[in-house]
Amino acid sequence: MATKQVTVKDIAKRLQLHYTTVSKALRDHPDISSATKDRVLSAAQELDYHPNSIAKNLKRQATSTIGVIVPSIRNDFFSAVISGVEEVAYGREFNTVVCQSNESAEREAIHVDTLISNQIAGVLACAAQSTTSGSHFKALQRQGIPVVFFDRICEDVEAGRVVVDDDVGAQNAVKHLVQAGHSRIAHIAGPKNTSIGRERYRGYLTALETCGIAVDHDLVVYGGLEENDGAAAFRQLLHRGRMPEAIFAVNDPVAIGAYTEIKRHGLTIPDNIALVGFGNNTLSSYLDPPLTTVRQSPYEIGRAAAGMLLRRIENPTQNTKSEVQVIETELVLRQSV
C-alpha cells in the first residue's frame, strides 16, 4: 500500500508551527528566522518531504516543465538534441518531459493533448514524418503554450524554429560527388511532406544545376527516413536498370540502409558506387569504409531550441513567435567517396 505524501501541514504539525510559517521557511523567506528555517528543513528531511510541484504551479499559474516531442529516442541525433535541451533547461531550473511519436502523427497529437492536460510550460517538437497538418500544435498555442520546432517543422504553424541549413548542406554533399568525378548521382529522398526532405532535395537539384548536370528523375527515389527505406530505395534504383555512380541520401540511417544493400549485391564502396549521407550519426564513422556525411550539430540544435523556448516562456509579451535560428552544417569527408 502506497504511503501518503508528506505535506507542509505535516511538517507544521510535527513542529507545532503554523503551516504558512513552514511554507515561508521552505521558500527561504526573509520574515522567518534562521533558527526556524533550520528546524523546518531538518523536519522536512526527516519526513522525506518533497514539494508538490503541481499545487505550486497551479498557484502561480505556470509550470517549470517543458515537453520535448521527438520521432525516435533511439536515433542518436535526437538523443543528442535532448541532451542539449536538458543542459539548458536544468541551468534555468526547468524540468523536461520527453515524448516519442514513433513517426506517427496520431501519436504525436495524443502527446500534445497530454502535455496540455498537464499544464506544460512550453513544447519543443520535431514533426513526425507522417505529420501533414500542424493543427494539434495550434491547439497548444490556443492554450497560451509556446511552441518551438527543431529540425523538422510544420509550415502551417507560426512558431519559432531552429533548423540546420539543409539546402546548403545538401549542395555541398552533391558538389563533392561531382568534384570526385561523378555525374550520374542518385538521390534517395525523404518524404515529400517533411521540411528536411524538401530542403535537401532542393539542395540536390541546385547543386546539379550549378555543376551543369541535367536532372535525371529516374535517379530520384522517395521514401522514409529509416535504414529499411534506404535498402528498399537502392533496390528500386537497380530495378530501374540505370546504375548510379554515386548516391546522396537524405540522412545517415537511409544511407546506411543503402550501404548494406550495395554490399549485399556484391558491389564495393566507393569503387562501384560512392555514397554520402546527412547527419553524422555515430555509426557512420565505424563503417568500412566510413561514410562521408554532413554534420548538423544536434547538441547545439537542442541548446538553441531550448534557449528560444525559455525566452518565450519567460517573456511572453515579446513578439518572437516567428523567430528562426539556422545552424550551419559541415561536410565530413571520409572514404565512401
Q: What is the pLDDT of residue 53?
A: 52
| CATH architecture of residue range(s) 8-51 | Orthogonal Bundle (1.10)
Closest alpha carbon to 229 in 243, 244, 249, 247 = 249
Domain spanning 63-164+298-328: which superfamily? Response regulator (3.40.50.2300)
Each residue of 104-158: pLDDT tens digit? 999 999 999 999 888 899 999 999 999 999 999 999 998 889 999 999 999 999 9
Query: The pTM is what?
Result: 0.78
Residue that has been written with the C-alpha cell 528555517 in this structure? 37
CATH topology match: 8-51 vs 63-164+298-328: no
3-state secondary structure of 64: coil
Type of residue at 169: G
**Strands 95-100 and 65-70, sheet pairing:** parallel
- Output the pLDDT for position 61: 46
Specify the pLDDT at position 207.
98
Question: What would the pLDDT profile of 287-324 be if each residue is shown by its tens digit?
Answer: 999 999 999 999 999 999 999 999 999 887 776 668 99
Q: What pLDDT is attached to residue 267?
A: 96
Q: Looking at residue 319, what is its pLDDT?
A: 65
pLDDT at res. 49: 81
What pLDDT was estimated at residue 290? 97
Q: E strands, the chain, where?
A: 65-70, 95-100, 122-125, 147-150, 160-164, 185-189, 220-222, 246-249, 274-276, 293-295, 324-327, 330-332
Specify whether the CB–CB gap between 79 and 93 falls below 8 A: no
Show me where the domains of the chain are located.
8-51, 63-164+298-328, 166-295
What dihedral angle (degrees, nearest 10) is formed by the CA atoms of 301, 71, 158, 90? -50
CATH architecture of 166-295: 3-Layer(aba) Sandwich (3.40)
pLDDT reported for residue 119: 84
**CA separation for the pair 22, 31 (Å, rounded):** 11
Q: Point out the residues of the chain with pLDDT beneath 70.
A: 1-4, 51-62, 319-321
